[in-house]
Amino acid sequence: GINAEYMGTLSECLFFFEMENYRRVNKEKEHESIDDSEIRIIATSEHSSRNYISYCMNLFQGEGEKARRKVVLKAMGRAINKAVNVCEVLKHRIAGLHQETSLESVTLVDKFEPLVQGLEPKEITRVVSSISITLSLDPLNTKSPGYQAPIPASEVITEEEAREARQALFAEAGEAFGKGKGKGKGKGKGKGKGKGKGKGKGGFEDDYQPSGGRGRGGRIPPHEYEEYDRYGDGKG
């Protein structure tokens, strides 16, 4: 007989073959009032982690009415990993941050219209994971299953210290690969010279720039959100 794994693969192939005749209907975005301390993270590459980190740092270190004692990171689907990364970097940059995390599942309905005459419109229901991470300078609910106390102060470093450490790392790597001379056998002599520079391009996720930074897209709007989308980039 045909095993279940093969049948599952066959069903997926038939599904995607059928969906080639359909186009997803873009959803109308709901305009809701959201506090600027709620950051909705999307997974697309034009919004890097360092831009979100920069925005949160500005909120925590702001003055007067712009200052915030708490931020909430929210993400869905494939953006969850980025939200967790942003959270961890912030905890190592700002001392005394309490954390409370909650996970849930959200049911979404996608609508598709046919590209071929004679086919009927389709609706597909899917369940997506979502995460909400609260970071606060004030104590949170310690009895919550998702609560985490602030990390030790010895593990927190300033932005300046983090940047100096990255520059030193790049400089060391450049010197290691750039040095050395070699002589080739046979005709002629071969000399290899390399140049090592201590300037990086922000390859690390915590290499953010303050006040909006130089990352692609500049300062990111805090209210954008992305739901996991198996058919596209979550822009529907």
Give the pLDDT confidence score for residue 39 in this predicted structure.
94
């309490």: which residue's tokens? 98
- How far is the C-alpha of 213 from the C-alpha of 202, rounded, in Å? 11
Q: Region 30-58: what's the mean pLDDT?
A: 86
Q: Region 102-114: what's the mean pLDDT?
A: 92
| Total-model pTM | 0.65
Query: How do residues 110-165 score in pLDDT, each as one tens digit?
Result: 898 988 888 889 898 989 999 999 999 999 999 999 999 999 999 998 878 877 87
Tell me the one-letter amino acid at 97.
L
Residue 201 has pLDDT above 50, yes or no: no
Helices 49-60, 80-91: inter-axial angle, 10-degree rounding: 40
Q: In whole angstroms, how far apart are CA 211 and each of 53, 67, 94, 179, 219?
A: 10, 14, 16, 37, 8
- How far is the C-alpha of 52 from the C-alpha of 60, rounded, in Å? 13
Residue 36 has pLDDT above 80, yes or no: yes
Question: What size, in residues, is the chain?
Answer: 236
């990111």: which residue's tokens? 220
Residue 212 has pLDDT above 70, yes or no: no
Give the pLDDT band (50/70/90) at residue 180: low
- How far is the C-alpha of 173 from the C-alpha of 229, rounded, in Å? 39
Residue 178 has pLDDT above 60, yes or no: yes
Kindly report the average pLDDT of the chain as a whole number: 75
Query: How do residues 11-32 score in pLDDT, each as one tens digit?
Result: 666 666 677 888 888 877 766 7
Give the pLDDT band (50/70/90) at residue 209: very low
- How far is the C-alpha of 167 from the C-alpha of 163, rounded, in Å? 6
Query: How do residues 56-98 score in pLDDT, each as one tens digit?
Result: 999 998 888 888 999 999 999 999 999 999 999 999 999 999 9
- How far is the C-alpha of 58 from the C-alpha of 37, rounded, in Å? 11
Backbone angles phi, psi at 42, to 5 degrees: -115, 160
